[in-house]
Structure 1
Amino acid sequence: MGYSLVRFAQPGNEQEHLGLLVDGRIKKLEGQINSIIGDWSSWEGELDRMVSSGATDDWLDAQTVTLLAPVQPAQIIQAGANYRTHVIDLAVSHKKEGEDEAEVRAATALVMDKRAQEGLPYFFIGLPAAVAGPDEELELPHYSKTHDWELELAAVIGKRAFRLTPEQALEHVFGYTIVNDITTRDLVFRKDMPAIGTDWYRGKNAPGFLPTGPWLVPAKFVEDPQDLTVQLKLNGRIMQDESTADMIFTVAQLVSHASWNMPLMPGDLVLTGSPSGNGAHWGRLLRDGDVMEGSITGLGTQNVPCRDEVR
């Protein structure tokens, strides 16, 4: 039987706890999430035995607690432009007047196919302070009306990973969770300094801009990270609905390349990019009162309500 790890708080008590989640029931555990991840060889057998015993007398109903982000990363590595269809859609949205859409799609597809064979992933850095719980209210900063969603599969590093090959990479992945990488579109490209290019610090790292969870699922319960469905609904309407098979660079390739510059440590996150269907594609960005429902196969569902910042 599969299980997940969660972090949670109980009503009337701000203390944070670690838990083992099985079929909607939570067994409270002692310790910190990164300690368990880093010492998984000692914990795995014990948790397996807890689950196989079937004893749930002192387990909590998951509906009675508040789930927090299941991870506490020291480093967050984010991959950009890593879904083929998403990049093609972006190229179409930025095509020049008079350009034929079919020709733009075909030309971009060829570029992406070549990039997959010969290119490298594109990475930037996220801030741990932006991590929020899976159902935590997202405050939309007042300085823009261009906040957008980007639901992503996130790989959680299990042991020190430095200069790995793709063949070694998945052995260093502890498990997987969901992250919605919120982006303020009009801040991404610096209008005052166009030669510098993108400004990911201001475009992505406001408080709560990385809703994470609800669960951290050990890798042994995820048969193939390249065969999962990433789906985001906005107020019940499906906006993103794509397979991770559409990635240009696989999870193994991303973890490998991310590990070549700096060592990745237990608990760190490698975000794998957003599939097609962002708000910029639909011409519909986040507004006060919106609710985002994000899910990935086997990793649970997060429900994030949005409200405008109160100044």
Structure 2
Amino acid sequence: MSVKPEPGSALFAGPFALATLSAPDGPAFPALVTADAQVIDLQAAFGDDRLTTRDLLDSWESALPRLRALADGGEPVRGPLDGFRVHAPVEPRQVFQSGANYRQHVIDLHVAHRAPGDDRPEEERRAEAAEIMDRRAAQDLPYVFIGLPSALTGPYDDVVLPAWAEQPDWELELAAVIGRPAHRVSVAEASGYIAGYTIANDLTDRATVFRRDMPQIGTDWLRSKNAPGFTPLGPWIVPAESVPHPGDLRVTLTLNGETMQDESTRDMIFDVARMVSYASQTARLLPGDLVLTGSPAGNGMHWGRLLRDGDVMEGSITGLGTQRTRCVAEAS
């Protein structure tokens, strides 16, 4: 899909963003995309025909000043963005996903997933969920689990809905991209380990979230979230210096032109720095890794409308651009 900024609008916040692009029938390459939608081939600019976006993130502290200089001009561009294919902007080693991190979203899910035999009024169940959220916030325990890099796909690629997925749902999320190895970093330090931000749509098959054969096992994130292409990513990585207030961004998803999610990251229970710090207490986060921060209210379970063949999702986050994906049913 070719990409053009709308008249009077910007593709992203700041003077440049990182992308992974390819010309028609050509290999993918890391690119700097300027605010006026011009493409600089970073393999050529850095003199390394094997360079990837993740390599840049591996040496982010030294790469960032060079990227700023390239964005200022003086480097021949490869051409306008329109006409290049846009891929997922990075191939991470690890994907850290977050559940139950938007207050209103979790309350809605708690009400939607009524337990068998629970005949209490909705108002009572909402009050119970709100109490649970307050307790989680007080205990300072985010919920983080592991996703698979193989689930990632480009921001304009079709999403194949597996034949076995009975309730495929959308979950648009802000994703932090790690720029320095991070292990046991504090909340105060965590923002310094974030290279930039991008958009992720963390699709979930609601029917397979909980194990039916043995409910005591709990959630099955492998089955429900990690089908190939279930995580459209991008289109860009916008440097953190261009996104000074990640806790005040608008997260919006439309389905066939109708707004389904439209919420601020202010509704997060745990902010981005807290999520990065928490994940790093156990794991060693590596450059290029993704930390997804949860999805706001307005998913398909809330609306009683799950994804179907032919649906088109458009997801945008303030300053990070817009992704557009079409759902295609898997051939039986």
Q: Same fold (TM over 0.5)?
A: yes
Deviates more, 1:37-46 or 1:171-180: 37-46
1:286 counterpart residue number:
307
- 1:101, distance to aligned residue in structure 2 (A): 2.2
2:86 & 2:165 partners in 1: Cα distance?
29
1:130 & 1:197 partners in 2: Cα distance?
22
Say if 2:24 is the partner of 1:3: no
1:4 & 1:153 partners in 2: Cα distance?
16
TM-score by length of 2: 0.90
One-letter amino acid matched to 2:139: E
Among 98, 107, 126, the residue aligned to 1:88: 107
Among 67, 71, 95, the residue aligned to 1:47: 67
Say if 2:162 is the partner of 1:141: yes
Residues 67-78 of structure 1 aligned to structure 2 (within 5 Å) = 67-78=86-97
Answer whether contact 2:181 2:284 (CA < 8 A) is retained.
yes
Say if 2:224 is the partner of 1:211: no
2:258 & 2:42 partners in 1: Cα distance?
37
2:55 counterpart residue number:
35
Residues 114-263 of structure 1 aligned to structure 2 (within 5 Å) = 114-263=135-284
- 1:56, distance to aligned residue in structure 2 (A): 6.9
Q: Deviations over 1:216-269 (max 9, x none)?
A: 011000011100011100000000111001001110110001001110000001
Report the CA distance shift for 1:45/1:63 in structure 2 as closer, same or farther (over 3 A).
same
Answer whether contact 1:145 1:286 (CA < 8 A) is retained.
no
One-letter amino acid matched to 1:244: T
One-letter amino acid matched to 1:88: I
1:20 counterpart residue number:
32
One-letter amino acid matched to 1:185: R
One-letter amino acid matched to 2:204: T
Q: Secondary structure at the match of 2:253?
A: strand
- 1:57, distance to aligned residue in structure 2 (A): 5.0
TM-score by length of 1: 0.96
Among 85, 91, 96, the residue aligned to 1:66: 85
Gaps of 5+ in 1: none
2:233 & 2:223 partners in 1: Cα distance?
19
Answer whether contact 2:60 2:180 (CA < 8 A) is retained.
no
Sequence identity percentage: 51
Number of residue pairs aligned between Structure 1 and Structure 2: 309
2:287 counterpart residue number:
266
Q: Deviations over 1:75-133 (max 9, x none)?
A: 00101010000011112223465422223223322221221121411111100111100
2:143 & 2:181 partners in 1: Cα distance?
22
Q: Deviations over 1:34-73 (max 9, x none)?
A: 11112122222222122223x5753421111010000110
One-letter amino acid matched to 2:68: D
Gaps of 5+ in 2: 1-13, 44-50
Q: Secondary structure at the match of 2:218?
A: coil
Answer whether contact 2:40 2:76 (CA < 8 A) is retained.
no
One-letter amino acid matched to 1:303: R
Q: Secondary structure at the match of 2:86?
A: strand
